Amino acid sequence: MSSDSGVERILLISSDPEREIALVSWCLKALQSVGSPELHVITVLPELDYSIKRWLSQNPESHQLEQWVLDENSRRQFMIELAEAAGVKLIIHVCFGKLFYDSIQYARFHQVDLVVKMVQSNPQTLNSLLFDSQDMHLLRKCPMPLLLYKHGTPLPFSTVMASVDVSLGEDWGDDDNIDLNQQIFQWAQWMNAHQPIHIAHAWEEGIEFYAKHWSMDLSDQEFNELSESTFRQHQTALSRSIDQIEFTQKPIVHYLNGEAVDSICQATKSLSTDLLVMGTLARSGLAGFLIGNTAEQVLENINCSVLALKPEGFVSPIPPPKEIRPQIIQVATD
C-alpha cells in the first residue's frame, strides 16, 4: 500500500450479516474515494461430508445447494442496497469449504488490498481469547493486510496504536524492520487520518540482568548513564523510522520500557485502544506457517481489533486457485 494510492479492493469474510451492518458501511465508505472500488464478500459454508454429497447426487432435482446459496445471498440483500447507494461494485461469493483456506484463496485470486473479518469475544469459552482458530489461521497464512474487527468497536476507529520494533546500530537502514514499520505507519494513518495515531515501541534495557550476572560493579551514576544511553539509542532509531513518513498529524510516541508482550497489552488497555496495527514476522525456517512469537503472544492477550501486516517477501502456504467456483452474485454499480 502506498500513501497516495489508497485501497481499491476489500474482501469481507461474512459469517453473521445481521451484525455486520456497521462494518459493511465502514468498508464502503473507505472505498468511496478511489477510482474503481470493489467490495468482495465471501461466505464459506461448512464443507459437505460424504453422506450429504451422496444424497445430493442421488437427488439432483432437490436443488438444495442452489437453495442454500440463495438463502445466504438473501441474508445479505442490505449489502447490495448499501453498495448501490455508495456507488461501489459489490461481488458476493458463497462456497462450501474451510473458511480460512477458501478466503485466502479468494483474496489471492482477486488480489485484494485488505481482508476484513468480524470477531467477537465469547465470555463462556474457557480461555476467553478474542481470536478463534480460524482467525489464527488467517493471521498466520494470509499474505494481505488482515483486519480482525472486534464486534461493537465504534467505527470509524478513534484510538489507533501502531506497534513497531527497531534495530540499533549504524546498519539500521538495511534492517527489515524499516520497510515493515513504514507499512505499519501508513496503514495506521489510513485507518484514522483525522486524529493523531499512537506509536508504541517496547524495549528492555537488561542492565540490571547484566550487572547481576556479569558481576558488573556499577555506581548509581554509571547505571543511570548506561540506562539513559540505551534509551537514546532506541529513541534515535525510532525517530529515523518516523521521519520517513509524512503524517497528517504528529503522532504520539510511547516508549515502553519492559517486556514487549506485557507492555504492549497494557498500553492498549490504558489508552482504550480501538485498533492495534502490528507486524507479524514469520519464524526463520518456517516462513508462511508461523507468526513471530512476540506477535502471537500479543494476539493471545489483547482485547481490541487488530490490523496484522506481513513483511515484504512473505509467501503464503495457501496457493491461489486457477479459478473460483461459480456460486457468485455480482452487482455492478455505475
Predicted confidence (pLDDT) per residue in 74-86, tens digit: 999 999 999 999 9
Q: Does pLDDT of 60 surpass 80?
A: no
Which stretch of DSSP H or E encloses residue 41? strand 38-46
Predicted pLDDT at 236: 86
Cα–Cα dist 282/269, whole Å: 26
Cα–Cα dist 3/19, whole Å: 31
**Mean predicted lDDT score pLDDT of the chain:** 82
Predicted pLDDT at 260: 87
| Helix locations, 203-333, DSSP H | 207-213, 220-242, 260-270, 293-301
Whether the Cβ atoms of residue 58 and residue 299 lie closer than 8 Å to each other: no
C-alpha cell at 134: 480460524
At 184, the pLDDT band (50, 70, 90 cuts) reads very high
Q: Does pLDDT of 56 surpass 80?
A: no
Which stretch of DSSP H or E encloses residue 40? strand 38-46
Mean pLDDT, range 90-113, rounded to an integer: 94
Cα–Cα dist 186/6, whole Å: 10
Strands (E), 88-235: 89-97, 114-119, 146-150, 160-163, 198-203
At 47, the pLDDT band (50, 70, 90 cuts) reads confident
**Lowest-pLDDT choice from 33-37, 206-210, 223-227, 296-300:** 206-210
Pairing verdict, β 328-331 and 252-257: unpaired
At 302, the pLDDT band (50, 70, 90 cuts) reads very high
Predicted confidence (pLDDT) per residue in 120-144, tens digit: 765 544 456 789 999 999 999 999 9
User: What proportion of the chain, given as a percentage, has pLDDT over 70?
Assistant: 76
This prediction's pTM: 0.85
At 162, the pLDDT band (50, 70, 90 cuts) reads very high
Whether the Cβ atoms of residue 257 and residue 231 lie closer than 8 Å to each other: yes
Predicted pLDDT at 183: 93
